[in-house]
Amino acid sequence: MIKQDIFMNHVIKTGLNTCWKWRGAKLKHGYGRYSGGLLAHRIAYELLVGPIPESLLVLHSCDNPECTNPKHLFLGTHSDNAKDMVSKGRNRHPDQTGLKRSDETKAKISAAVKRTWESKHAPA
Ligand SMILES: [Zn+2]
């Protein structure tokens, strides 16, 4: 289990809506790396937002791979990720992903979130 206070020691929080930079180790593409080879933004999401369904990615609306601000993180599928990159290439805006999801994708994501949440919070 990752301790939130220890994890947050590696995060440079400059404001509520700014990018929270990672001061620890980084991977080749700029993603923050936490101990055990875990990705910092995924841990941030799990600690500060909630569990990540197995099939989903944590994407950055700010396009800043080392950012760990939960406000800049959202769940998506692999195909969202590809579409998101394409839309960002045309129109870079830090607060907008420009992502257009089909209803099917939206339903898949919310069902996966619900299942994961329920499995982690189920009574023993
Ligand atoms: Zn950010």
Q: Three-state DSSP class for 118? A: helix
Question: What burial letters (b/e) apply to 74-84, b meaning 16+ CB within 10 Å?
Answer: bbbbeebbebb
In 10 A of CB 112, how many CB atoms?
17
Ligand 1 centroid distance, CA of 122 (Å): 32
Ligand 1 centroid distance, CA of 59 (Å): 10
Ligand 1 centroid distance, CA of 56 (Å): 19
Residue 96 is predicted with a pLDDT of: 52
One-character DSSP codes across 31-73: -EEEGGGEEHHHHHHHHHT-PPPTT-EEEESS--TT---GGGE
Domain boundaries, the chain: 4-121
Ligand 1 centroid distance, CA of 94 (Å): 8
Distance CA 64, CA 71 (A): 12
Put simply, whether the predicted model's pTM sits higher than 0.85 gets the answer no
Residue 103 is predicted with a pLDDT of: 86
Ligand 1 centroid distance, CA of 64 (Å): 6
Residue 97 is predicted with a pLDDT of: 60
Ligand 1 centroid distance, CA of 43 (Å): 15
Ligand 1 centroid distance, CA of 82 (Å): 19
Class of domain 4-121: alpha beta
Ligand 1 centroid distance, CA of 113 (Å): 22
Ligand 1 centroid distance, CA of 123 (Å): 35
Residue 95 is predicted with a pLDDT of: 47
pLDDT tens for the 124 residues of the chain, in order: 789 999 999 999 999 999 999 999 999 889 999 988 999 999 999 999 999 999 899 999 999 999 999 999 999 998 888 888 777 765 554 445 667 788 888 898 899 998 888 887 776 6
